[in-house]
Amino acid sequence: MSYDNIIIPELLPPSEDGVFKTLLTHPEAKPILRDIVESYLRFPVVKVEVRNVELPISDINEKRERFDVNCTVNDGSQLDVEMQADPMGSDSSKNEHAGVKNRSVYCLTDLHANQTGRGLDYREFAKSYQITICNYNPFKEPQRLLEEFMLRNKQGLLLSDSIRAIFVSLRLTSEIVKKPTRDMTAAEMWSIFIAKSSEPEYNGLINEIIKMREGISMAQEALNSISMDPDERAIYRSRRILAMDIEHLRVSGLKEAEEVEAKRKENEVMAQRNEAMAQRNEAMRQEVEATKQEVEATKQEVEATKQEVEATKQEVEATKQEVEATKQEVEARIVETASKMLSAGMDINAVSQFLELSEIEIKKLSLFLKH
């Protein structure tokens, strides 16, 4: 993987996580930090004290959280300021940037709950603020530079304002830069400085803002000093390389995951096709089996009909033989009766009339008697 396309701007961008943290935590940064905190909290901040960026943990299995800037203001209220230059990992608009939102909630609640270690009564808890400055817009709507969240129910009833999450969407500064500087709020000026100060085309606007706000003027001087430091520039380059490596791995992982998912879907489609084919084959097999059974039943029916016809034929033959036997018996009786009548002196015509013989039967009888 080539890193030749890494461009290090003359003025390092404050919107890069490492530069932002260096800008707000170096020894001369308290006035800068106080001004930026005051601008985003939107209430006067008299003093600010930087604390350890790593909270103590009470359980070895507990995640150790590191803040970009951890400080207290005025009455002891505590504050974490985070710079989120790029979406976290697989975070994107598709999942509504759930990662950075959940991390903000985690950091805020962790910061607030850490007060219990001081032996405070719950009523004495200081307020806790989480300011997350994003170099993108983590919300679809509404399109506002600042979004502030507290604990409320669905009807808007406030439970507590002790914890507040504030999101700053630097992407929206592209519209704010069109405003006259005299109409800009302190939060808008700071957001433009963080988002645009390393872009030469905005130098004129940045100079106007510097003249209007001392904290930003001091931040510009500090940023110039940081940007000229060879070590800071080397560190910045190293972070960009790391970011590129992470992005490359993420994209590679996504591509591999997409390929795996595509293969899974392909296998699933193939399995569904095979299942459908198996079902069709089974249906055809059952249809063939049913047809086979139907043919066998028809065959048996034909055989039964054949046997029935044969039996009827035999029955007809038997009836025919019976009729023939009866006919012969009747003829024999007629002959016998005719013989007796003729022997008794009756002539053949009288016998024929008496027995109701046809002319043919009379001829047959005459021939029989002659023999």
The 10s digit of each residue's pLDDT in 217-254 is 999 999 999 999 999 889 988 888 887 777 777 777 76
pLDDT, the chain, mean: 84
User: In this model, does residue 300 exceed pLDDT 60?
Assistant: yes
Interval 190-216 mean pLDDT: 95
Lateral strand order in the sheet of 77-84: 48-50, 69-73, 77-84, 128-134, 158-169, 146-152
Cα distance between residue 166 and residue 302, in whole Å: 91
Contacts of 209 (CB under 8 A, 6+ apart): 181, 184, 189, 192, 193, 216
Query: Residue 274 is encoded by which pair of tokens?
Result: 């095979």
Are the C-beta atoms of residues 25 and 51 closer than 8 Å to each other?
A: no
For 143-187, what is each residue's pLDDT tens digit?
A: 789 999 999 999 999 999 999 999 999 999 999 999 999 999 999
Please give the biggest Cα pair distance in the chain: 172
pLDDT at site 138: 86
**Model pLDDT for residues 33-65, shown as the tens digit of each residue:** 999 999 999 888 888 888 755 433 333 334 434
Percent of the chain scoring above 70 in pLDDT: 87
Distance CA 48, CA 25 (A): 11
**Domain regions of the chain by residue span:** 17-228
User: How high is the pLDDT of residue 65?
Assistant: 44
Q: Which residues contact 123 (CB under 8 A, 6 or more apart)?
A: none
Rounded CA gap, 29 and 23, in Å? Answer: 7
Least confident of 18-32, 108-122, 318-332: 108-122
Cis peptide before 142 (omega within 30 of 0): yes
Q: Which 8-state DSSP code applies to residue 147?
A: E
User: CA–CA separation, 163 vs 287, rounded Å?
Assistant: 71
Cβ atoms of 192 and 206 within 8 Å: the answer is yes
The three-point CA angle 189-193-198 to 5° equals 160
Residue that is written with structure tokens 């044969």 in the block: 310
**Which carries the bigger pLDDT value, residue 369 or residue 302?**
302
pTM: 0.64
Whether pLDDT at 142 is above 90: no
Q: How far apart are CA 108 and CA 85, in angstroms?
A: 19
> Which residue reads 């103590």 in tokens?
56
For 344-364, the pLDDT digits (tens) are: 777 777 777 777 777 666 667
What is the C-alpha to C-alpha distance for residues 150 and 158, in angstroms, rounded to an integer?
A: 8
Q: For residue range 83-119, what is the model confidence (pLDDT) as tens digits? A: 887 775 555 666 678 888 898 999 899 889 888 666 6
Burial level of 335, CB count in 10 A (0-12/13-18/19+)?
A: middle
Contacts of 32 (CB under 8 A, 6+ apart): 23, 24, 215, 218, 219, 222
CB 220 within 8 A of CB 196: no
- Which pairing describes strands 146-152 and 128-134: parallel, antiparallel, or unpaired? unpaired
- Three-state DSSP class for residue 69: strand
Q: What is the pLDDT of residue 98?
A: 85
